[in-house]
């Protein structure tokens, strides 16, 4: 079945550092790929998405590129802020199936001033 | 996008009791979902709730433990029945918006069972 693997956290960075959170996936079809973010005490919010190979999703300075050859969708940001501290979830949904996403375990990001 | 609210936002309950969680959406949506997020874990889908039909439960979840109602296109409830400490989790409702593959989530209900 479909699955998503994320790097384990927490990831601890200083403000203005470069961020990478790795995500790889296994899927039988051609999934859409997502990053969701969960700020403390809140529900998940869609951060960005990509629906086909080589697509780049971007939002709020975050980017991720759909790499079919490496089955990856790594999240990057050039300069993190304290307000980016949250849990980040990589997810996929099978475009040929039910669209219900499969989530990774989440990666906690802590940004220090 | 959809705006989703949940009630209560948190509760502390005694074992053996039941809690009903409400989910309200500001627009009509076809599919609503209920998830459980245990501490430090990812989201686990409990069930899919479509208006006018029985909820569809995922493996490991049963209607007697987690009865769901979906009386209209903007509202759903999830009941956690006969609670035990293992039911302590965050419960999230979500909706699929505009038939796309994106989901929008409510803020969650943080449940602690003592």
Under the banding of pLDDT at 50, 70 and 90, the label for residue A77 is very high
CB contact under 8 A, A43 and B96: no
Under the banding of pLDDT at 50, 70 and 90, the label for residue A95 is low
> Distance between CA atoms of B102 and B96, rounded to whole angstroms?
6
Under the banding of pLDDT at 50, 70 and 90, the label for residue A9 is confident
Could you tell me how far CA A32 lies from the centroid of its own chain? 12
- Position B57 scores a pLDDT of 96
Instruction: List pLDDT tens digits, range A35-66.
Output: 999 998 888 999 999 999 999 999 999 999 99
Across the range A93-101, mean pLDDT stands at 73
- Position B97 scores a pLDDT of 73
Q: Per-residue pLDDT for A97 more than 90? A: no
- Position B98 scores a pLDDT of 66
> Distance between CA atoms of B30 and A62, rounded to whole angstroms?
31
CB contact under 8 A, A46 and B108: no
> Distance between CA atoms of B92 and B36, rounded to whole angstroms?
6
- Position B99 scores a pLDDT of 58
Residues of chain B positioned with their CB less than 8 A from the CB of A45: 105
- Position A62 scores a pLDDT of 98
- Position A98 scores a pLDDT of 64
Extract the runs of DSSP E, i.e. beta strands, from chain B. 4-7, 10-13, 19-25, 31-37, 43-50, 56-57, 68-72, 75-80, 89-96, 103-105, 109-113
Nearest to A75 by CA among A55, A90, A54: A90
Across the range A78-96, mean pLDDT stands at 91
Across the range A15-29, mean pLDDT stands at 94
Instruction: List pLDDT tens digits, range B11-55.
Output: 999 999 999 999 999 999 888 999 999 887 889 999 999 887 889
Instruction: Give the pair of three-digit tokens for residue B8.
Output: 């209560």
Under the banding of pLDDT at 50, 70 and 90, the label for residue A100 is confident
Beta bridge mates, A49: A34
- Position B42 scores a pLDDT of 84
Q: Per-residue pLDDT for B101 more than 80? A: no
Find the closest chain A residue to B44 by CA distance: A103
Find the closest chain A residue to B6 by CA distance: A43
Across the range B51-80, mean pLDDT stands at 93
CB contact under 8 A, B43 and A42: no
* B105 vs A: CB within 8 A: yes
Angle ∠(A31,B36,A60) on CA atoms, nearest 5: 55
Nearest to A50 by CA among A60, A68, A62, A65: A65
What are the C-alpha distances in Å from B68 to residues A15, B30, B41, B46? Answer: 44, 15, 23, 10
- Position A34 scores a pLDDT of 95
**Nearest-10 Cα torsion for B96, B98, B101, B106:** -30
């Amino acid at each position: 079945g479909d699955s998503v693997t994320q790097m384990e956290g927490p990831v601890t960075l200083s403000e203005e550092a470069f961020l990478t959170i790795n995500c790889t996936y296994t899927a039988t079809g051609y999934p859409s790929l997502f990053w969701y973010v969960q700020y403390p005490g809140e529900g998940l919010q869609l951060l960005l998405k990509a629906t086909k190979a080589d697509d780049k999703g971007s939002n709020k300075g975050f980017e991720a590129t759909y790499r079919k050859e490496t089955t990856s969708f790594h999240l990057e940001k050039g300069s993190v802020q304290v307000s980016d501290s949250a849990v980040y979830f990589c997810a996929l949904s099978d475009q040929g199936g039910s669209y219900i996403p499969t989530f990774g375990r989440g990666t906690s990001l802590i940004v220090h001033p | 996008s959809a705006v989703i609210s949940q009630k209560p936002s948190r509760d502390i309950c005694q074992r053996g009791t039941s809690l009903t969680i409400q989910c309200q959406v500001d627009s009509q949506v076809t599919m609503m979902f209920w998830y459980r997020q245990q501490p430090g874990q990812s989201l686990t889908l409990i069930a899919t709730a479509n208006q006018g039909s029985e909820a569809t439960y995922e493996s490991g979840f049963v209607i007697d433990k987690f009865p769901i109602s979906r009386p209209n296109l903007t509202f759903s409830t999830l009941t956690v029945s006969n609670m035990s400490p293992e039911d302590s989790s965050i419960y999230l409702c979500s909706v699929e918006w505009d038939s796309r593959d994106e989901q929008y989530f409510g803020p969650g209900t943080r449940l602690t069972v003592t």
